[in-house]
Each structure stands twice: as C-alpha cells, then as structure tokens.
Amino acid sequence: MTGSLQGIKVLDLSRILGGPLCGQILGDHGADVLKVEPPQGDDTRTWGPPFRDGVASYYYGLNRNKRIQFLDLSTPEGQQRVRELIAEADVVLENFKIGTMEKWGIGYEQMQREFPQIIWCRVSGFGVDGPLGALPGYDAAVQAMAGLMSVNGEPNGDPLRVGLPVVDMVTGMNAVIGVLLALHERGRSGQGQLINASLYDSGLSLLHPHAANWFMNGKVPQRTGNAHPNIYPYDVVATGTTPIFLAVGNDRQFKLLCEHIGRPTLSEETSFATAGQRSTNRVELKALLEASLAKYDGVILADELMAIGVPAAPVLNVEQALEAPHTQHSEMVVQMGEYRGLGAPVKLSRTPATYRHAPLSEGHDFLSQENSDLDTP
C-alpha cells in the first residue's frame, strides 16, 4: 500500500510553486504523478544558488514523488500526447496564463466534453473573471494587494513581505483541498469538475484575525511586530541569552508565568489582570517582563515554561529547527540518496505518506495498477 491516494493518476502541467506543491503533496500520499515540463524545464530549475547538477534547490523542494517528461505543448505533437495522458488521468493540475491551453485546444471545457470524469485544478493569480481576472499573479505582489504586508513588520517600520512564499504555498494547499473534495464528490456523481485556486483569494483567506477585527469595529489593522494584535504577552521577549516567544493565551497561563519568574503579584495588578488589560498595556508589560527575564537562559526557560503549561519557545534559526530532536522524531526531514527535503506534515495511521521517487525521476506513462501496487520505497 503506497498511501491514501493509491490508484489516483495526476497529470501535473504546472510550474513554479503552487501547482507543483499540490502535485508533490498528492504524490506523497500515494497518487501516481506525471509532471510535464517544457523542453527547457520548469523555470525554478534555475532559481539558485544553491544548485546540484545544474538544478536549483528550489526545484528539488517541490518535485519529489513525481516522474518527469518534457513536451512542447505549443506543437501538435505535444498537444496530442497531453490528450492521451488526460484520457488516463483522474486529475489535471495547471497554472498556465488564462486562455493559453484553450488556444492550444486542450483547455478544461474542451477536455471536459471529451472526458466528463476529469477533475481539473487551475491555479491562477486572480481567477478567470472579475476586475483582475486572467491577470498573472505573483506571491509578493499578492501579499501587498491582500493586506498581508500592511500588518507585517514593526509598528513604526515599513510594511514587510512575509519571509517565505506564504501565498503561493497556501494556494497549493488549497488546491490539494479542492482536489480531495472533488474526488470525494465524484465518488457519488461520477462527474469531474473545475477547481479554481487563486493566489488572491488564498492571500485574503490568511487575514485572520485582522479581517475579523475590521468586520467588527471598522478600524484599519496596524502592524504590531511580532506581537499578537488581540492578546498579550504573545510576543518575542529578550532573555539573558536566546530570545523566546511567549504565547500566553489566558489568565491562568499568565499567572503561572508570573509565579515562575518570581513576579507573582504582577498577575494581580489591575493593568494586567485580564487579557484585555494586558493587551491594552502591552508596552509597559513587555518592559517589566524583559527586566525579570534578563537573568534567565532563554532555551532553558522555554523548556521550564512548557513543562508547567505556559506556551513558550526559543527563537531558532533554520538549521537549528531542522536538526532539532523532535524534527527527527516526527520524520520531517526525508532523505533519498543525495536528496534531502521536508517530510509530509500530515500523518495517517494506516496509510502514511511514502517517498518513492526523488526529484528528477523520469517517466512517460502512468503506472499500471499492478505496478502501482508494487511501487513502494
């Protein structure tokens, strides 16, 4: 058994990030994923350094558990081969500019008439219609347009892009959700359908709690740095060594924190007795906390606080996070020969994720059911 999606055939015509991430997740959970790239390859092959054998790490991070082939879809030969693969596929992933595949005669509506069972997932910048419909979308631009940059950064600083392609990534995850929903519904109706996963809508979907606050009070949310806009202390605080993040969400946790750092009366003061008061008086509270924490080792303190039920964590760099004992325990680093990548975060008890094809594996046809059954690590 190779996963929950064993037997599902996915034709991945996408490139860059959102679509390829969707395809990788489906592949991790057992789908047979064939990825078609243009003759020059996916653009992200060149997005480095670092490189291995001329291919960038960016590409490696999004394209395992797929088998790759190269086709020029602008040619009759490439279009015919894609038609043949669509005829066998359960799911098609694509993120071409709106209208491109239709121009080639292999768009969703054209293919749906011929293959009504096909599930077609289109990843786009802004969807097909509307004021911005059919325009190309880019992660950083959508972070700006969707309000994400306006709430990210220090209160007196400039708006900041989130330090990873969060809009692209959540769009890929939303595409996975759409594919799974459509597969489930097809089990009842026997019919496929079109899934639209846009960067713009996905970016807006990340605005909690800022959107919820604005809907209720009409006040434009402002930047709060590392701090939570509604509760406090939910922020990075300095210690004698490594900074830690405190994520105190209720009065009980705050009382435990104050007792542990030798300031038991702090939780009884009128200015800090409730979550609302702590949020309103956060500047004063942060100064008092940091003065008390200056004598502590941050890593040790975070462990002590977690042990008594106060959410806290040291601020680690990427290397420290990837080498942490719990990262290894939860199998969040995968190794296949020279390839290392992030593991699947969703753990299923009977049908766990498997890692069968390292990036750059080749393949021209979907696997037969017999071969799929044998397709194990």
In a domain, 268, yes or no: yes
Compute the half-sphere exposure of residue 12: CA atoms within 13 Å on the CB side of its CA.
Answer: 34
The sign of the torsion formed by the CA atoms of 25, 363, 138, 101 equals negative
Judge whether 203 and 145 are in contact, CB under 8 Å: yes
Q: What is the CATH number of the domain that holds 360?
A: 3.40.50.10540
The alpha carbons of the chain give a radius of gyration, in whole angstroms, of 24
Question: pLDDT at position 51, please?
Answer: 97
Question: pLDDT at position 377, please?
Answer: 45
Question: pLDDT at position 376, please?
Answer: 47
Say yes or no: 109 and 255 in one domain: no
Say yes or no: 39 and 158 in one domain: yes
Say yes or no: 145 and 290 in one domain: no
In sequence order, the β-bridge partners of residue 120 are 92, 194
In a domain, 48, yes or no: yes
**Boundary (domain end) residue, out of 288, 314, 340:** 314
The single residue listed with the structure tokens 């970016």 is: 203
Entry pTM: 0.92
Number of domains in the chain: 2
The sign of the torsion formed by the CA atoms of 15, 19, 25, 28 equals negative
**Boundary (domain end) residue, out of 262, 294, 314:** 314
Say yes or no: 197 and 90 in one domain: yes
Domain, as residue range, for 192: 9-206+324-374
**Boundary (domain end) residue, out of 294, 314, 334:** 314
Say yes or no: 193 and 333 in one domain: yes
**Catalytic residue check, 168:** yes
The single residue of 12, 168, 201, 303 carrying the catalytic annotation is: 168
Provide the residue-wise pLDDT of the chain in tens; the chain has 377 residues.
579 999 999 999 999 999 999 999 999 999 999 999 999 999 999 999 999 999 999 999 999 999 999 999 999 999 999 999 999 999 999 999 999 999 999 999 999 999 999 999 999 999 999 999 989 999 999 999 999 999 999 999 999 999 999 999 999 999 999 999 999 999 999 999 999 999 999 999 999 999 999 999 999 999 989 999 899 999 999 999 999 999 999 999 999 999 999 999 999 999 999 999 999 999 999 999 999 999 999 999 999 999 999 999 999 999 999 999 999 999 999 999 999 999 999 999 999 999 999 999 999 999 987 665 555 44
Say yes or no: 142 and 69 in one domain: yes
In a domain, 221, yes or no: no
Judge whether 121 and 94 are in contact, CB under 8 Å: yes
Question: pLDDT at position 1, please?
Answer: 58
- Supply 174's token pair: 């939303």
Q: What is the CATH number of the domain that holds 254?
A: 3.30.1540.10
Question: pLDDT at position 372, please?
Answer: 59
Say yes or no: 330 and 303 in one domain: no
